[in-house]
Chains A and B, each alone.
Chain A
């Protein structure tokens, strides 16, 4: 089977699995749990209650297969249902509010970490055995640390000890979100520490991967040939070695972009940052299953889209991948 067909097949199956897993999220609950949860929501409107029962499949009309197709039909119309906690707000409108927060924070931090980490990786490989290269074991410590622990350390130092930045929520209390400078500067102020946490913990991974691939690339004959031609070492490093060594890193970056939407869930919880991760956590703990389903679906599709992007990066950047037949 040609590579492209196989990959497309993979995306179709993966998307189907994501949708089906999402469909079963509320239905996998033990039955009495659903009843008790619905019983605990006394102030529900009758039609909202009915919608929920259909959602959970407890009193739904028709077979499971029928419910499944109703669900698929709703998805095709972009209808993700209504949140039980924030009703009557629709899941889509809640996501619309929260996604920009996560995208701005985690997205920016991911880009900074990628650029910094890759550059440092090139430098470490260039000066093999230099101080940067020898301090790599220190970076492994950052990579292996539970990153919420690092977040706690950062809060302790920057917020509680030195009072440099605030650590809770996405903006100061009493402000209304809007495009004015007071609000934006407050939002930036509140995002410094979460962003710092992400950059510090994820930078090490980019750096190590880049360094290790660089070292293998530097050993290639064409790099030696470039050196033998008498090119400057800067040129050899950046346009000969790094240019080829960066391909796995770029593909990894494309994937990381997909995981941006999922947010750094634990980080958002630690900093009470109003993003998708905290929303997911809250909706799980408050049994808001329509919202859980919606978030999970959006996250899964973002990852799939990013995988597609990573595939394209490989095909565009690496001519060898175009002839590849295996995965």
Chain B
């Protein structure tokens, strides 16, 4: 025993970027990705495309006017502001907030999840406990209470911080579970035997192999952030000094857009938010299908039909149930 066998450093199996990776993505992911890409593009160039200043009042207009050649999406009842311009400017801040929260929360989730799963022992016990406590804290009530502390003029940053602080736990839990299964694989053992440092194993062996899970967690968090921030802005809890999809809805609702029949005013931001949300859900479906081949659409395969495939032994990752708002 205890004869140290000289091991040649084994290059661990890193995910190889296959050729035509984009083309091999499931259709749902392609559609979702394209729509999201369009929104990101709009977030960047939208403000320059806006035909009017979203705050400018149209002289001589008091009531909301329906879509016309001058105002493609109509005007608001607040002195006839241009709805299209508000949308082009507002989409940017909503997308920006979503991506920012997604990034912060995912970094937190990866940090906590990988550390807990990889180190194990008491570190794992403590971190899992914290994660689970954050999972059961009722997020929306807490968000409303916490955002009540900030003055209305403080911009998007407090919202982003509070949303990230309450949104990382689910991702951390899923990533920890995945790290637990990766930890005992041969290529990690090989890396450890060849004397790689812990941080190197984590950064270059563990994290790259969880990249699809991390991506799915990121997309899920962005969806949560967008839906929550739009809802919070709509009820007037978070900042409504700038334009976003939520603040557009807030002003429409507070000026009784429904009752006066100005549908273009509230339907426009609502549909914009819904399509953005759908693109994220489609992306996540795509990630699910990549991870779980059985979900892939292989045409008609009925339970009573005879065209059954033998069940494949792929382990099934439990589905992520989006926290309902």
Residues on A lying within 8 angstroms of B by beta carbon are: 1, 6, 9-10, 13-14, 17-18, 21, 25, 28-30, 125-130, 137, 140-141, 143-149, 152-153, 155-156, 160, 202, 205, 209, 212-213, 215-216, 218-221, 223-224, 227, 233, 236-237, 241, 248, 252, 256, 259, 262, 264-266, 269-270, 280-281, 284-285, 287, 292, 295-296, 299-300, 303-304, 307, 326-327
Contacts and interface: CB of A to CB of B under 8 A. Distances in A.
B246 to A, nearest CB: 8
A296 B278 contact: no
B144 to A, nearest CB: 5
B149 A14 contact: no
26 contacts: A6-B125, A30-B149, A129-B301, A141-B274, A143-B277, A143-B281, A146-B230, A160-B261, A209-B321, A212-B319, A216-B292, A218-B303, A219-B309, A227-B303, A233-B304, A248-B319, A252-B321, A259-B324, A266-B231, A269-B235, A270-B253, A284-B144, A287-B148, A296-B141, A304-B136, A326-B180
Contacts of A156: 258, 263
Interface of A is mostly: helix
Interface of B: 28, 125, 128-129, 132-133, 136-138, 140-142, 144-145, 148-149, 173, 180, 223, 227, 230-231, 234-235, 237, 249, 253, 258-259, 261, 263, 266-267, 270, 273-274, 276-278, 280-282, 285, 288, 292, 294-295, 297, 299-304, 308-309, 311-312, 316, 318-319, 321-322, 324-325
Interface of B is mostly: helix
A14 B303 CA distance: 44
A233 B311 contact: no
A145 to B, nearest CB: 4
B273 to A, nearest CB: 5
Contact of B132 (A14, A28, A215): A14
A18 B137 contact: yes
B144 A303 contact: no
A146 B132 contact: no
A296 to B, nearest CB: 6
